[in-house]
């Protein structure tokens, strides 16, 4: 479903690449996709230093941070970012997801174990969901899971005003990726 969502379900999102990933089209497309769904987007662009991502999240307190990376360093850089982010008390409950081409082996690489293990590692470190292009069903399936994840999120204003409650996904459909 890509119909517009109602105003009270509109999410304030931050989209970003990782510090050493220069890929751009993934971020351009993600932004349009989120806007098409009716969500508000701040796009931090590519090669964004961790500190800048953390700073933007502290300032904007978004409902969701979406990290997209396709250069194959998602494991290395994605882990570093989420550890730093979860160490900031104000961001400990922020919903954060990561997706794209996360490792350099790709989907039909040596075995299917790699990406399952990678997703588990990333979620254990603090991501709420992982959308790995190399996972079962490829990028399309990942995008469908991302859409389902978006629908399950409730903006923080909608929970209770002024509360520090995080926008919360129920047992995220994308969680296991």
Partner 1 sequence: MDDTDRFTAFVRRAADAGHLVVQHRMGFGELHRMRAGLRAVRDADATTVGTVTLDSYTRCHDDGAALRALRERPADLNGFPLLAHGVPAVRTLLQEVASADFPVQIRHGTPLPLRLLRAMAEAGADATEGGPVSYCLPYGRVPLARAVAEWSAGCELLAARPVPPHMETFGGCMLGQLCPPSLLVALSVLEAMFFREHGLRGVSLSYAQQVHGGQDLEALAALRRLAGERLSGSAHHIVLYTFMGVFPRTGHGSRRLLADSACLAVAGGAERLVVKTPAEAHRIPTVEENVAALAYAASVAEAEAEAETTTNAGAVHGAARVIAHPPTPPAQRPDPTAYGIYEEARTLLDATLETGDTVGACLVRAFARGILDVPYCLHPDNANRARATIDARGALRWSRTGAMPVTPASTTAAAPVTAGQLTELLTFNRRRFDLREPGRLYGSAS
Using alpha carbons only, give the angle 156, 161, 162 rounded to the nearest 5 degrees: 95
Residue 126 Cβ vs partner 1, minimum distance, rounded to whole Å: 19
For partner 1, the closer CB: 133 or 166: 133
Q: What's the 3-state SS for the chain?
A: CCCCCCHHHCCEEEEECCCCCCCCHHHHHHHHHHHHCCCEEEECCCCCCHHHHHHHHHHHCCCEEEEEECCCCHHHHHHHHHHHHHCCHHHCCCCEEEEECCCCCCCCCCCCHHHHHHHHHHHHHCCCEEEECCCCCHHHHHHHHHHHHHHHCCCHHHHCCCCCCCCCCCCCCCCCC
Evaluated on CA atoms 58, 147, 67, 79, the torsion sign reads: positive
Residue 8 Cβ vs partner 1, minimum distance, rounded to whole Å: 22
Residue 141 Cβ vs partner 1, minimum distance, rounded to whole Å: 14
For partner 1, the closer CB: 25 or 111: 25
For partner 1, the closer CB: 101 or 166: 101
Residue 116 Cβ vs partner 1, minimum distance, rounded to whole Å: 17
Query: Residues interacting with partner 1, by CB under 8 A?
Result: 2, 19-22, 24-25, 27-29, 32-33, 35-36, 43, 45-48, 71-73, 75-77, 101, 103-109, 134
Distance CA 177, CA 158 (A): 27
For partner 1, the closer CB: 43 or 123: 43
For partner 1, the closer CB: 65 or 102: 102
Residue 63 Cβ vs partner 1, minimum distance, rounded to whole Å: 19
């Amino acid at each position: 479903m890509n119909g517009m969502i109602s105003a009270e379900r509109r999410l304030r999102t931050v989209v970003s690449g990782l510090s050493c990933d220069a890929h751009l089209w993934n971020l351009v497309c993600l932004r349009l996709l989120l806007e098409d769904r009716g969500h508000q987007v701040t796009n931090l662009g590519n090669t964004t230093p961790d500190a800048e991502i953390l700073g933007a999240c502290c300032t904007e307190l978004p409902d969701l941070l979406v990290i997209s990376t396709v250069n194959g360093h998602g494991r290395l850089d994605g882990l570093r970012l989420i550890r730093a982010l979860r160490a900031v008390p104000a961001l400990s409950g922020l919903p954060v997801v990561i997706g794209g081409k996360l490792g350099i082996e790709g989907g039909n690489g040596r075995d299917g174990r790699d990406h399952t293990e990678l997703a588990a590692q990333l979620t254990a470190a603090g991501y709420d969901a992982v959308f790995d292009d190399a996972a079962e069903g490829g990028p399309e399936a990942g995008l469908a899971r991302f859409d389902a994840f978006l629908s399950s999120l409730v903006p923080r204003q909608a929970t209770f005003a002024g509360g520090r409650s995080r926008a919360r996904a129920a047992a995220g459909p994308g969680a296991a990726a």
